[in-house]
Structure 1
């Protein structure tokens, strides 16, 4: 029976923390757009994330040797 004096206040403290976290999340806009991230992953991005740089001076572009016919 003595354990109830510990468990009931502990449960109330955890309840208050959970309610405070939910109120904070709803006020900060965490639940406003639930479908956007799901559709965003399906969209095809045409823009590359890493910009390509041209070949350095004196170097040929990657794969350029493969396109040239072999010399006789």
Structure 2
């Protein structure tokens, strides 16, 4: 029974680490503009 509590604790710790990494990526601006790069090649030569 002790191993179950240990595994639950470790899994919660890993989940919190992934959540912290995701929040850091959002706050650093990695997900600001995900539409423009995909269509930028279509409008490069337009004058």
Q: Does 1:31 align with 2:1?
A: no
Q: Which runs of 5+ in 1 are unaligned?
A: 46-72
Taking structure 1 as the reference length, the TM-score comes to 0.51
Structure with higher helix content: 2
Q: Which runs of 5+ in 2 are unaligned?
A: none
Structure with max Cα Rg: 1
RMSD, matched Cα = 1.7
* Paired residues, number: 45
Taking structure 2 as the reference length, the TM-score comes to 0.72
- Identify the structure with bigger relative contact order (alpha carbons < 8 Å, sequence gap 6+): 2
Query: Segments of 4+ in structure 1 off by > 2 A?
Result: 40-45
